[in-house]
Amino acid sequence: MIRADASPRIPPVIAPLVQENLTLSSLPLFPLQTVLFPGGWLPLRVFELRYLDMVRRCYAAGAPFGVVALQRGSEVRQAGAPAETFFDIGTLATIQALETPQPGLLMIRCHGEQRFRLADTQQLRNGLWVAEVHRLDDDHPVPVPPDLTFVGQSLARVLASLRARMDATGQVPAEDEMRVEDCGWVANRWCELLPVPLELKQRLMQLDNPLVRLELVGDILHRTGIAGQSIQ
C-alpha cells in the first residue's frame, strides 16, 4: 500500500497545479461508465498500467484526479480502438483508501468533491488523459421545500434498508453524514441510486440549481413509483 506520508517526486502531470482561484492544470482523468456526484463514494478496481502509477502518485501526494463519464469507448484500453470521448463536466475524486490485494491490482475508495469543466485535454503516450479544468461552484445550501419532503424521507428509508442488508460499500453514507433536508445532497444521493441512463445522470449532475435537480428527481420517483421502495 502507498502511504499518505510517502513523498516520492511527483511530476507536474500527476500533481494538479492551481493556476488561479478556480483553475487546475494537468489534472489526470479517469473516464468511466458512471457519473460521480459531489459527496458520493466510488469504489474502483485499478489494473491498467496507465492508471496504476497515476493512482499511486495521487494517493501519495494527496492529489485528486478527475472522473468523467464516457460518451464513447471502453473503460479498458483496447489495441487499435479509437480514443475515448467523454462529457466535458466531471467531478474531482480524492482517494480515501487504497489496498493492494495482489501485484498489479489496486482497490481504491474515492470521494466525490467539486465539479469541473474541461478546458483543454491531452492524451499522453501511455494512454492517460490529462486536462486543464475550471472548477465549478459547489451547490449552495437550499432547504428541501415542503412539497418535496417525501423525496428526502423516502431516501432515508431506502438508505436504512440498504444498511440493514449491506456492510459499508462506498455508496451508502454514514448516518451522521445524512442531510435529508438539503436539496443538493438529497438529489445527488438519489441520482446515484436511481436506475436511469448514464446520460440522464450526467445532465442532472451538470445542473447548477440543486432545487431544480431535486424537482426532476421527484418527478422520476413519481413516474416510476420508486418512492418508498427499496432499491434492489
The CATH number given to whatever domain includes residue 159 is 1.10.4060.10
Domain boundary, last residue among 106, 135, 164: 135
Spatial CA neighbour of 141 closest among 186, 172, 171: 186
Residues sharing a CB contact under 8 Å with residue 128, sequence separation 6 or more, in sequence order = 13, 28, 29, 50, 51, 54
Q: Which pLDDT score, from 0 to 100, does residue 163 have?
A: 76
| Domain membership flag for residue 8 | no
Sort residue 151 into left (φ over 0), alpha (ψ -120 to 50) or beta. alpha
Q: Do both 27 and 128 map to the same domain?
A: yes
Q: Do both 171 and 97 map to the same domain?
A: no
Q: Do both 124 and 184 map to the same domain?
A: no
What the block records as the C-alpha cell of 33 is 461508465
Domain boundary, last residue among 101, 116, 135: 135
Measuring CA to CA, how many Å separate 28 from each of 34, 40, 121, 131, 139?
Answer: 17, 19, 10, 7, 24
Give the predicted TM-score (pTM) of the model: 0.83
Q: Do both 156 and 97 map to the same domain?
A: no
Q: Do both 41 and 123 map to the same domain?
A: yes
| Residue 22: pLDDT band with limits 50, 70, 90 | low
**pLDDT tens digit string along 170-207?**
454 444 478 899 999 999 999 999 999 999 999 999 99
Question: Could you tell me the CATH number of the domain that includes residue 68?
Answer: 2.30.130.40
Q: In percent, how much of the chain has pLDDT > 70?
A: 81
Q: Do both 63 and 108 map to the same domain?
A: yes
Pairwise CA distance, residues 176 & 170, whole Å: 15
Q: Do both 41 and 114 map to the same domain?
A: yes
Q: Do both 101 and 159 map to the same domain?
A: no
Evaluate if residue 112 carries a pLDDT over 80: yes
Pairwise CA distance, residues 22 & 5, whole Å: 27
Q: Do both 35 and 128 map to the same domain?
A: yes
Q: Which pLDDT score, from 0 to 100, does residue 167 have?
A: 55
Pairwise CA distance, residues 121 & 130, whole Å: 6
Q: Which pLDDT score, from 0 to 100, does residue 23 have?
A: 60
Q: Do both 21 and 128 map to the same domain?
A: yes
Please give the residue that has the higher pLDDT: either 164 or 46: 46
| Domain membership flag for residue 231 | no
Number of domains observed in the structure of the chain: 2
| Domain membership flag for residue 1 | no
Beta bridge partners of 122: 130
Pick from 13-27, 42-56, 99-113: least confident: 13-27
Which amino acid makes up residue 178?
M
**pLDDT tens digit string along 213-231?**
999 999 999 888 776 554 4
Domain boundary, last residue among 95, 112, 135: 135
Could you list the residue range(s) of the whole structural domain that residue 93 is in? Answer: 17-135
